[in-house]
Amino acid sequence: MSDFKDEKTLTTIPELHKDLPGPANKDHDPKLARAEEEILQHYKDFAYFCNFDCKDHPNWGKKFYDLDEAMYFDLMGSVQRPGFRPHYDNITPYLADAQIAFKDLEITAVTETFGYATALQRYWGVAADGNAFDFTFRTTSLVRKRDDGNWKYVHEHFSFPVNMATQKADLTSGLKIEENIRLE
């Protein structure tokens, strides 16, 4: 498994593939390599925003989302379209003093204008109410290249592993599936 990576260490798609815990998926099309690198740049720019700009300029992050089309299965609940814009306006300033990093990021372009990514995402910092937070969760993101040439998140699904017996989520994503599959 790889280390967590930020805007400086998310380098290239081939380098990310070398760090995956297993082989890259079989759906990578060499003809779509440029689209995958563009999506990776979207992630680098998003990480830079989160790590350096969000605290003072949370609205700047809106450019990474299709605010009217995005649908989210967020950690605290589902956000149906067209409700992402008010969710962004609520959650982003609340968690603006934060850092973000990705582990085992795999980006797959399906077409020249659509792709998806899977990863572990760590998000940590201090909320607007003074409470510290440190979450590591699984993420699946769908992105689409819009008419302006920019990639936008159109769907994200975040989740934590759950101990089936205790029904408690692991906010660090450290649980092993073998240890948590039983209901007893």
Query: pLDDT, tens digit, for every residue of 104-120?
Result: 999 999 999 999 999 99
Check whether 1 has a pLDDT greater than 70.
Answer: no
CB neighbour class for 116 (10 Å; exposed up to 12, middle 13-18, buried from 19):
middle
The CATH number of 13-180, from 3.40.50.1220, 3.10.450.50, 3.90.1150.10, 3.40.50.620, is 3.10.450.50
Measured in degrees and rounded to the nearest 5, phi and psi for residue 154 equal -115, -15
Tell me: the pLDDT tens digits for 167-179?
A: 898 888 888 888 7
The pLDDT assigned to 110 comes to 99
Percent of the chain clearing pLDDT 70 (strictly above) = 99
Contact 96, 75 (CB under 8 A): no
The pLDDT assigned to 184 comes to 76
Tell me: the pLDDT tens digits for 81-106?
A: 999 999 999 999 999 999 999 999 99
The pLDDT assigned to 181 comes to 81
Contact 183, 164 (CB under 8 A): yes
**Mean pLDDT across the chain, nearest whole number?**
95
Beta-strand runs (E) in the chain: 71-74, 77-79, 97-111, 114-126, 132-145, 151-159, 162-163, 168-169
Taking residue 101's Cβ as centre, other Cβ atoms within 10 Å add up to 22
Taking residue 32's Cβ as centre, other Cβ atoms within 10 Å add up to 19
Check whether 64 has a pLDDT greater than 60.
Answer: yes
